[in-house]
Copies of this chain bind each other. A is one copy, B any other.
Amino acid sequence: MTKPITVLQMTKEDLEGFLAKEFPQAFHAGSGLSIERVDYGDCRVRLAYSDRYIRPGGTISGPTMMMLADFALYVAILSAIGPVALAVTTNFNINFLRRPEQRDILADARIMKLGKRLAVMEVTLYSDGVDEPIAHVTSTYSIPPISAT
């Protein structure tokens, strides 16, 4: 069993360029999404607060948090396997822990296991400036065979 190469495959700048070019509908100037930090299989991303995410009672909607976690997962997997592989989410499980504040949301993603065929990852979401997490995600990506990329 060989260990995967644990070298950052895309820097923050690489990722920003790749996402702006390949996912313009999701990642653009007005999306509110930004990458704060990227290491190998480990990143922090941010969603700027916007009124459009709000639900009655002043809470941020569940799908907004899911969208942000999905983005964090994609950045984390790209940082480890690079832009060539067409990785797809197969499972996404979120537990909502606390009511988010009306603030930016931070998402910390990390790879728990990177195999040849599957990656299992974890994301923890926070309201900016608050210690206790607002949501926790585990997710599995299917990684295509190298010959298919």
Contact = CB atoms under 8 A, between A and B. Distances in A.
Interface centre among A23, A51, A66 (most CB of B within 10 A): A66
Nearest to A98: B113
A109 to B, nearest CB: 14
Interface in A58-72: 61-63, 66-67, 70
A94 interface: yes
Contact of A25 (B54, B94, B136): B54
Interface in A95-143: 95-98, 112-113, 117-118, 120, 122, 132-133, 136, 138, 140, 142
Give this chain's copy count.
4
Contact of A93 (B22, B91, B112): B91
Given A63-B67, A91-B93, A112 B136 contact: yes
A95 B91 contact: yes
Contacts of A70: 61-63, 66
Interface in A34-69: 51-57, 61-63, 66-67
Contacts of A91: 91, 93-96, 140
B57 A90 contact: no
A56 B22 contact: yes
Given A66-B66, A117-B117, A133-B112, A95 B140 contact: yes
Contacts of A63: 63, 66-67, 70
A109 B86 CA distance: 30
A137 to B, nearest CB: 9
